[in-house]
Structure 1
């Protein structure tokens, strides 16, 4: 007794039995294409995987029905041009999902089919990540204005590896561009669109070549390795570095008053001048402590007067700089009503509940004969003290205040160092962090393998509301030099004399240290044991940060490089690494371990019948 097992699996991919018009047909006049298969098929993610070239301004209708795939073009056909419909790997059979493989259908409205192909990769210029799904297109108009005035003439999209192949290219001279086309017009028309460009031109060509193919017997065993002739289309190694232009258009995103003591302004971009605030129902002169962000795109207006803090509605006239329709900064005046997230009445009710709870707790303590208070203590300000978990001699301690300070007393701050069993005063300096109103840096000569105690007296800090800090005591220990290693990086392969910034990355790809190379040598000291990677960028303007490009200014982004090898740093080891930044192509530099954009799993035949035969003890045919 048993159940029938259904027999062998269908492992045959779908095959085309008919196409109307025929594949590679010429003189085509119809805009409806029907492709018929020998079995039922599915079309996966047609909107992203299927690319029609030349690009269609009106989206084609692409659908599968039973054994057919129907494509209906909405744009009028152009004369004497080759059309390609690249299905990529979107076609599978309906039952077993057997992939057909990459398939491209083409036809011509003229008398000839153009067959050249152009291929390459698109990488994110800032981190060499493959850019998936970005549009890549060609222009035979070699002027710099074509990209912003005319649609691309032939297009493709990158896959998960950032790889693109533009098919059906006619003989000629071309430029290639990449565009994250937000509005679907195949033109670079918005600064927010990711873009890549190159002034290099090329002439497509092809010729016979030989490549090595691996023939698999099944998923685990190689049957043979063969040298196979094929037609090699060139260029196939184009590399485009994509970037986004900084958004310099300035307008007010929003204002809010999450904290009743503060009115927050959020702009899309900064400005040299701060907004001018004029009170309508209050006197705004000297009413605020202004806290702008480093880029001045976020500005906090702290209310000095608690009477204003307790007022629910503050009406004000705000004059600020805003980008107009011509792209120029002009003055704009808005009337703004600043309402707190929690009104004064609600805050008072919450305070009453808090006092009532405290009184009940004290009454319970009194009845139990435990210590209790008769007056509720005033809340103290609580600065946030940030001490590195692994303190090295080059580390700093930061103190961040919850509110702006009216004063701070450095004589109430003490730093002690322990030598043998005795504690001694240690010298330090406390400085405001540039561009951060409420953050301070404590600098000291941190000595290896020494224990320190940071002690802050009561009322060392007082904010603009008269609230003082409570006493704080923090212990910290600087690790021994033997706990760290050092890394020297010698950079080769440079053809310029620009500054270069070298970055040490952890196993997640995050920057842990950064230094400027001197005489093509970068030095990293006090490196914790672990596995690291290296990246670098040419600092064209010497500002110490990576700068993006600008198409209108004809400026490419600053060049970025990755060392493809993992580096292991050990305690008490001094490691020297030689790095030729041009020894490996850009497309192969970034290690896969820290690459965020992983390749999609390639669709393959599953060879389920081979597995089934093994289970049944049937010998596999060679």
Structure 2
């Protein structure tokens, strides 16, 4: 038994020795290695010229074991190759890196291979960031550059999947090229959205950017965002464009309708549903109305059935509709009815506002049709005050109560049955709401002076924690926000170029850019009982780093 135990110990020590010899690791003890891997030599020197077009492999030796992480997304080759080269080491670490070409190189071409953040040492994971290997199959290495910025149109946030590409303008280039072919030059922006092309050849180009969801270097409108420069241009050029990624509207298509409850059908569409209407082929309903959804990607068809229209009493258990787009019939939809019609009791929700002095706004799930002011009362303390009911045609699910509010006021609003009725004739139970305002000393006021304001209308938005706290749709150079709760805010503007009251995205084929978002991320400190004046020149470039002191801001405490 003792011999067997000793034999087991020898076996364990033997395998431990083999494992420790085979394992690639740093010696223990001493300071931790923080240096990236260092290149010792190249089989073909970096920035070499006259490299043979039939070159099969390039080898780069390092001073320590390395590996390639996320090579597929990190490594970018310009110009792209139809058959992507094979890179190693993937998996097991080596002291060298290899690039194996799977197709012949092009003549008189400068190639650049940007390894991004893919090269790292095997032990500590120290990265050799943005290492670029360059060579030319001709007598010269192209040396021109071109740079700019790219970010999402609705924010200054960097898109990690963003790539920027340059297409050569030749007889074969057209609007469909970006869907079918890879750009001739490709680069990746940094974490602030700055991009720079290097080693460019002079010539005419088209510039585009995509959030490359499937990593194929081609624009796929189903999954990718797009940015583009409207005009082609010639390199060299001094300009620095600012690209804005946006999601295009899909081509118009009819999706399957959703019949979730009797009296309501949701027709969903791809593309632009603004000019869509449906027509009920049965003509068997006493009342109908068609309204766009709040997201404007669907049409809600409300209908009031005949009194005896249930599956038990109706011989026909299907409904059929014609669909028209731009007044042209495009589809016919037929589907089964819901089994029962049970109107829901009307319920109202009070929409909470950041402005204590704004109109009280109520919303419902069904369109609101009639209002009876005699069934509504508004009291300040215990005294009745005058008010107005506001109902806008373009807000069918909403109405407001507008009345004068004063500082330190307590207001009670009571709505009795039949004060409001919806599309189905349903009304509310008695409901009571209470709101109040605070002392003047507890609010701040902000005056924004806009220099070089847009020629069209715009939304000026007061932002806090990436949320819109207050906004105004105006065309004025001076905009005032009163009765603001103390805090730190920033400004944002959405320019309504066509003055249609809604934000519009871009269209590549029509060469239309998305309506611009403008940002001012300089913090505005609003303390209680302060009047603050902020000047914003919207033509000035946004500073990505926030300052401690606010430029163009003056404040006057009301003592």
1:335 and 2:298 matched: no
Counterparts of 1:559 and 1:288, CA distance in 2: 38
Partner of 1:262 in structure 2?
Answer: 264
Q: Is contact 2:458–2:475 with CA below 8 Å preserved after alignment?
A: no
Query: Is contact 2:116–2:129 with CA below 8 Å preserved after alignment?
Result: yes
Counterpart pick for 1:565 among 495, 498, 522: 522
- Residue 54 of structure 1 corresponds to 79
TM-score (norm 1): 0.71
Instruction: From 349, 371, 386, give the equivalent of 2:351.
Output: 386
1:27 paired residue among 51, 64, 68: 51
Ranges in structure 1 where 5+ consecutive residues have no aligned partner = 205-233, 323-327, 349-377, 594-622
- 1:14 is matched with 37
* CA-to-aligned-CA distance 1:546-601 (integer Å, 9 cap, x gap): 54444433444444433342111122221112233344x34x257499xxxxxxxx
Task: After TM superposition, give the deviation of residue 461 of structure 1 in Å.
Answer: 3.7
More deviation in 527-536 or 481-490?
A: 481-490
State the partner residue of 1:278: 281
For the pair 1:196 / 2:247, whether they are aligned, the reply is no
Deviations 1:380-424 (A, max 9, x none): 5332233537522xx121222343456543311111223xxxx23
Contact 1:459/1:468 (8 A) holds in 2: yes
Q: CA deviation at 1:94?
A: 0.7
One of 511, 528, 547 as aligned partner of 2:485: 528
Partners in 1 of 2:515 and 2:389 — Cα distance? 35
Which string of whole-angstrom CA distances, capped at 9 and with x for unpartnered residues, describes residues 102-138 of structure 1? 2111222223322444333212233333343322122
Unaligned 5+ runs, structure 2: 1-26, 549-559
> How has the CA–CA distance of structure 1 residues 442 and 163 changed in structure 2, closer, same or farther, with 3 Å as cutoff?
same
Partner of 2:23: none
1:161-185 deviation line (CA, Å, top 9, x unaligned): 2122323222456553323456767
- Would you say the 8 A contact 1:488–1:521 is kept in 2? yes
Change (3 A) 1:578 1:388: closer
Within 5 Å, give how 1:538-549 maps onto structure 2.
Answer: 538-543=495-500, 545-549=502-506
Match among 71, 77, 90 for residue 105 of structure 2: 77
Q: In the TM superposition, what whole-angstrom CA distance separates every residue of 1:413-466 from its partner, at most 9, and x where no partner exists? A: 111223xxxx23222222333333332222223333322211112343444555
1:169 aligns with 2:200: yes
Q: How much has 1:288 moved relative to structure 2?
A: 3.9
- 1:482 aligns with 441
The aligned counterpart of 2:146 is: 118
| 1:16-415 paired onto structure 2 within 5 Å | 16-25=39-48, 26-28=50-52, 29-64=54-89, 65-67=92-94, 68-74=96-102, 76-141=104-169, 146=174, 148-149=176-177, 151-172=182-203, 174=205, 176-181=207-212, 190=221, 193-199=225-231, 201=233, 203-204=235-236, 238-244=240-246, 246-247=248-249, 249-268=251-270, 269-279=272-282, 284-286=284-286, 288-293=288-293, 297-305=297-305, 308=309, 314-321=317-324, 330-338=328-336, 340=338, 380-388=345-353, 391-392=356-357, 395-404=358-367, 407-415=370-378
CA–CA separation in structure 2 for the residues paired with 1:294 and 1:243: 23
1:510-532 deviations in Å (ceiling 9; x for gaps): 22222356663222222221111
Judge conservation of contact 1:262–1:302 (CA < 8 Å) in 2.
Answer: yes
By how many angstroms is 1:99 displaced?
Answer: 1.7
In 2, Cα distance between equivalents of 1:514 and 1:250:
32
The 1:73–1:503 alpha-carbon spacing in structure 2 relative to 1, beyond 3 Å, is: farther
Change (3 A) 1:143 1:180: farther
Give distance in 2, aligned partners of 1:520 and 1:249.
38
Distance in 1 between the 2:331 and 2:352 partners? Answer: 44
RMSD: 3.7
Q: How many residues are paired up?
A: 508
Displacement after TM superposition at 1:274 (Å)? 1.1
Q: CA deviation at 1:270?
A: 1.1
Change (3 A) 1:464 1:187: closer
> Does the Cα contact within 8 Å between 2:288 and 2:304 map onto a contact in 1?
yes
| Separation in 1, partners of 2:442, 2:310 | 51
TM-score, normalization by structure 2 = 0.79
User: Whole-Å Cα distance in 2 between the matches of residues 455 and 435 of structure 1?
Assistant: 25
Describe how 1:439-458 pairs up with structure 2 within 5 A. Answer: 439-458=398-417
Distance 1:164 1:389, change over 3 A: closer
How far does residue 500 in structure 1 lie from its aligned partner after superposition? 5.9
Shift of 1:156: 0.9
Q: Secondary structure at the match of 2:441?
A: helix
Are the equivalent residues in 1 in contact too, given 2:442–2:528 (CA < 8 A)? yes
When residues 556 and 457 of structure 1 are mapped into structure 2, their CA distance, relative to the original with a 3 A threshold, is: closer
